[in-house]
Structure 1
Amino acid sequence: MVSARRKALEMLWRGSCTVKAWQDAEDPVTHITKPQEVTLHENLKCKLSHKALTSASSSGGPAIIAEQIKLSLGNEYKIPAGCKLIVTQDEVTEEYSRSGKPGIFMDHQEIVLELFKKYA
């Protein structure tokens, strides 16, 4: 049963995501097992948020500005390290990789992401 808190959170989630991983999988025709991209979850409701982080340079140079990208979604989904997340929100689709251990909360989880470059 979904709690009232979770329903309230989901009202803010305006995105959807697909989770893919590089795993050994058997080809149904040849029955040969080889590494390939496998979809773990599809069309999960989520919310992508961006936070600009600024830190002063210790060398007296310009301040370093970084961006933290965080994905909020249901805590019932296991998102393995090193997987690819394809997130669509506000008609924009981007590919990300999971960079950190998820923060698990009572009704959701939050995962810090990086732009996807390649599988680890």
Structure 2
Amino acid sequence: MVSARRKAIESLYKGLCTVKVWQGVENPITHVTEHKEVALLTDQKCKLSYEKQASTTPTGGPAVIAQTTKLFVAPELDIPAGSKIIVTQNGKTSEFARSGEPAIYTDHQEIMLEAFVRYA
């Protein structure tokens, strides 16, 4: 049974995410293993959260603005490190990579993301 707290958290989810990994897949005809992008999870409810941080350099130079991106998803989802995570929220689609271990709570998990460049 889903708790009232989890329902409240998930009511804030406005996006959908797809999780893809780069893995070996055997060709059924040639029996040769080829590496391909494979979807592990598709259309999972989620929420992206953005936080901007401003800091100055020790020499008193101009402020540097950094942005932290965090993904909120269901706690039972297993998203491996190095995965490509494609999120569509508010009509915009963005590609991210999972960085670091997720913070898993009773009703959700929080995963820090960075812009996807390529598979490791």
3-state SS, counterpart of residue 12 of structure 1: coil
1:84 aligns with 2:84: yes
Percent same amino acid at aligned positions? Answer: 55
Counterpart of 2:38 in structure 1 is 38
Counterpart of 1:62 in structure 2 is 62
Shift of the alpha carbon at 1:24? 1.2
Counterpart of 1:73 in structure 2 is 73
Count of aligned pairs between the two proteins: 120
Counterpart of 2:119 in structure 1 is 119
Shift of the alpha carbon at 1:29? 3.2
Q: Which amino acid aligns with 1:83?
A: S
Unaligned runs of 5+ in 2: none
Alignment partners' CA distance in 1, 2:14 and 2:68? 19
Alignment partners' CA distance in 2, 1:30 and 1:108? 42
CA deviation string 1:54-102 (max 9, x = no partner)? 1121121111110000000001011111110000000100110111211
Alignment partners' CA distance in 1, 2:75 and 2:31? 34
Shift of the alpha carbon at 1:31? 2.5
TM-score by length of 2: 0.95
Counterpart of 2:106 in structure 1 is 106
3-state SS, counterpart of residue 11 of structure 2: helix
3-state SS, counterpart of residue 49 of structure 1: strand
Alignment partners' CA distance in 2, 1:85 and 1:104? 17
Unaligned runs of 5+ in 1: none
Shift of the alpha carbon at 1:46? 0.1
Over the aligned positions, Cα root-mean-square deviation in angstroms equals 1.0
Moved beyond 3 Å, runs of 4+: none
